[in-house]
Amino acid sequence: MNSLLLTGGRVIDPANNFDSIADVLILDGKISAVGKQLSAPAGGPSFNARGKIVSPGLIDLHVHFREPGQTAKENIATGTAAAARGGFTSVVCMPNTAPAIDSAGTVALIRECAEREGLVNVFVSGAITKGLAGEELAPIGGLKKAGVVAITDDGRCVQNNDLMRRACEYAKMFNLPLFDHCQDYSLVTDGVMHEGYWSVVLGLRGWPSAGEEMIVARNILLAELTGAKIHCQHLSAAGSVQLLRDAKRRGVPISGEACPHHFTLTAAAVAGSEKFWGADGQSLAQTQGGRLPFWPAYDTHFKMNPPLRSAADRDAILEGLADGTIEILCSDHAPHCDYEKEVEFDYAPFGITGLEVELALSLMQLVHTQRLSLAELIAKFTVNPARLLDLKKGTLSVGADADVTVFDPERKWVFRREDSASKSKNNPFFGWQLQGKALATIVGGRIVWSEPA
C-alpha cells in the first residue's frame, strides 16, 4: 500500500468549509483521512507541514503548453514542471497549437503525451471553430467524446454572433463550458497596448477597453438566450467587471477569471513608469526592500492581450475578486522564445509566462492586503474552477484524488530567471521579491516537486 502522511499543517479545504490544524493521510493515491494525530502504515513516509498551509491541489484552467507544433517555446514536460513549481496539480491547456485542437486525434495525442511526460494532471480544451478560423464549427460532440473539458478559440475570438450562438447551443447540449477571449476586432484593430494616456505618450496604437467590454456584453446576452455556461477569460477592464456583476445578479450562467498581471501592474509599466506595487498605495520600492527593478520603456515583457490597463481598471479587477464577481484566478501562461520578444514593441507577440509566480502575486495583492481570506483565495484556485469544469478535483474529501498543495504564504523569495522550469523566460517579474511560495506539490499521492531543503 502506497501511503503519505502530511502532519501538523493548517488544512484549508473550501469545498468542505474546513480550516483547522490537522493531518492528512493519503493511501493509494486517494485522500484516506483528515484529522488529528493520524498514523501512517508502518514505515510509511511523512511530510512535516507544521506552520504551513495544506490545501487541495491548485488548478489553473488557462495555460498554453504549445504542444504540438510550437515546442521551441514550451512543451508538456517543461510546462507541467513549471506548474508543479508553482503549486499547481491540474492545468487546462488551450487549443491554439499547430495544428489547433479541433479533432479527436489531436486531443488523443496531447492526452497520451501528458500521460507519458506530464508531472501534473493535464486537461484539454477543444476549439470552437475549425482551425480557430471563426468560420465553421469544430465537431464539438466528437471533442467531448475525446475528453475535452471545455471549448474555446482562445487567442482568437469568434466574431460572427450567429456562429457563436450555435456554439453555445452545442456546448449546452454536451454540457461543456464555453471559454471566450473577449476581443472585438473592429474596435481593437491593430492596437498593441491599452488606449489611454500612456499609449499617446509612447506613440503606440491603442487597444480600447470597449474592445473587451463589447464581447463580454455579447456573451452575457448569449448565455441568457441559450442557457450555456460562458466563461470570460482574463478580464482586464472595469466595464467588463460591472457587466459581469450585473449579469450574475440576474442569474445569468456567466463567469470570469483574472490574471495576476492585470491586478498587479498597469499600462505605466510599458513606459517604465509604474509607481505602485498595488492599489494599496505602498510604493514598489518599499515592497522591494528599496531595490526598484529596472524597467525600460517599450519592454515587450509587458505586452499581453488583453493589455495592462489603467489604475482604475486594476482597482476594478481587485474589487471584482474581493466581492466574488470574479470567481477564478489563472495565469494565461503564454511562453514565447527570447528572439520573438527581442524586437520592436509593435512586432512582439502578446503574452507572458506566469505559473511559477501566480500564487505569490495573488497572495500579495489579495490576502496580504486583506481583500480576501486565505480560504477565499484558495477557493478561486480549487473548488471554483473544478465546479465550472465539472472535475472531481479541488477538494480534500475522503476518497478524492490525492492532489495536494503545501505552501507558505509568508515565505519571501526572489524570482530568478535561472530558477524557472519553463522553457521560455518571457516574464516581467524576474528579480522581484515575492511573498508566498509553494513548498510541495502532490499529484495522485506522489510528491512531484518540493522545495529543496
pLDDT of residue 275: 52
pLDDT of residue 40: 83
Mean pLDDT by 10 residues, the chain (453 residues): 93 98 97 93 90 98 97 98 98 97 97 97 98 98 98 96 98 98 97 97 97 98 98 98 98 98 95 58 43 72 97 97 98 98 97 98 97 98 98 97 98 95 96 96 97 83
Q: What fold, for 57-395? A: TIM Barrel (3.20.20)
Whole-angstrom Cα distance, residue 381 to residue 13?
11
Whole-angstrom Cα distance, residue 119 to residue 425?
20
Hey, which residues are catalytic here?
332
| CA dihedral of 30, 106, 59, 55, whole degrees rounded to 10 | 20
**H or E stretch covering 145:** helix 140-146
The predicted model scores a pTM of 0.95
Domain ranges of the chain: 57-395
Partner residues linked to 408 by β-bridges = 437
| CA dihedral of 67, 72, 73, 76, whole degrees rounded to 10 | 40
* Contact indicator for 56, 382 with CB cutoff of 8 Å: yes
DSSP state of 67: T
